[in-house]
Structure 1
């Protein structure tokens, strides 16, 4: 028998475990079932709305495609799950900003262990509910002109209630996927919504190529850029800097443990897909407010931040840089890390423990974050610039931003499945 301990599971072993292991198979079926339920809920209509008139109006909106991607077509369908996971994403951004600004919340996250994290999760749900109500009211005012009822107040109240309740139900399903399924529930919900928008974009691209043969060159160029982007995403997502660590000699009882060497891995892209998701959400917020309220000032701001505007790229660039550094600071605190290394009796060769170690780690982390953020900016901006230069707009709202999310979520989910397969492998060895 070949000893496979410590090795990465092969594709054959992974698929065998997915088919044979009841635990993993049950998790996969649960995940797929809940994702299917979310997709079906998008097409359960909100009552008292003339959808034909709404669809015609929404198709002419300059910001509609951007808002419709993360909802998986939910806004265009005006279903009860139209808001989807978007309020939860916005609430997560708000809570992470508050956690870094309010000492009490920071203490909950860092020092209260699992109980503190559960408390912050509960606060995030409350913020999600409030945000869902705000967005529900905004959509209600937006679509009230398409209502088939004359009681405007009742229409706004019922529509807001349906949208907020639907969004909270989707959030609960996402948490259920995280706890009992495979992968991160919110990330998979975004993944499925983006995948659901791909057939429409591909169909529009094929129709464009058939109608205008001169656009084929631009389509092929975009396809090549997307393929190169996928390869780059995989390398960056897996890239890390290994900082060597030395554990000092120590004696426990009569045993003397020799000096041991290890390493501290720092990922090139600490935040994964989250910085670009947060930047995407912030960019879409003024667009949504302008669409809901029709305020002249907000409409002007929305036009400046629309994908067709030249201000879109620099603002997007700055937001991705900001959220990359912000998210990296939440994941790794150099001061806490240096203190933990000192408590364990370990050190980085050539670097004094304490403050010097914290400054050394912070310097490396800043450089890695800058490289990762610049890559994210390139992934998000270059295809958009090529789309604008070639005039191929059928992928507007999808593009490399969605591609990064798709690849990142796929990598993280596959890693979790591989981890489960490895645990099953060890359980099998113990039983033998």
Structure 2
């Protein structure tokens, strides 16, 4: 008998059926558990009320707490950022979105869009001015790319910046901007005579306003705004010097999409766990519904897609840490995990029956949030085309 045959198998863990935790080191697990505990203490007791009311009260305090956890600009180096690995950042995104997509969006927009843009493309003076306060959560940032008439086609944006002497003058509108009305700084992308450029815009600049968008049925516990730039005058050094063309904002979106690959699985996990707990206790025809074959088939299928998605996220994270992650691979992850997460939520809802639509359970809240996650930062169709081009070598975008 071989030595390996004498080693007893570890018990099957329903919470980790593939043993993915074995791929994580103690620091990874400590970061995951810290974020999970914070979300359980600070978000879960209140999130149903916040969602029902369509508000995120105390967002500035939440941002400071997230800053103290090191969750803002988490994978960036220096300037008060935690310098965590991509996998550790992904684990944090998963735990935050298991609480609510709106909380993960707050962190993602702050760190992976606004802070990343300044860190990657900004001058040293810009980094020193903004990043330490943003990492601490003292300054909230937003990222202005999407416009009312231009979402998937940012190259056609109408927001423009013109030189006036040594100054820049920005005019235009941005739409669906997370954190917009509470931000102290906005990274805004605009057409110039030299192509698309990024600008660091203090939100107290004359001509800048950010009216909040109301009447949302998704991401209700999140601040979403329009940005209005009415001849906002900025000094010459407001431009991000290292970003020219669409490569700048698209690289920021790739960084943020990576967090979505993990985060979507957090929403899926929360819904899956709610369905399993319900199936164990809900009785019909004299026994728990979890004992019926059709319910077990649903639970098994949800578990397979959930943990395949987490494994995919982990693989992409290791590739990012090794400097090998391509944008097409991020599209692969975003397409699969957002699509499967929303399907898991819909299946979980069927197990809960009518109770599935109640805010007493997280399932419908996650499902409606994922309707936004499915289409923001690249719709499923756009990611299909990215992969289609990579697989065939033929461009179907135009």
TM-score (norm 1): 0.28
Higher strand share: 2
Structure with the larger RCO, 1 or 2 (CA within 8 Å, 6+ apart): 1
* Higher Rg: 1
TM-score (norm 2): 0.30
Higher helix share: 1
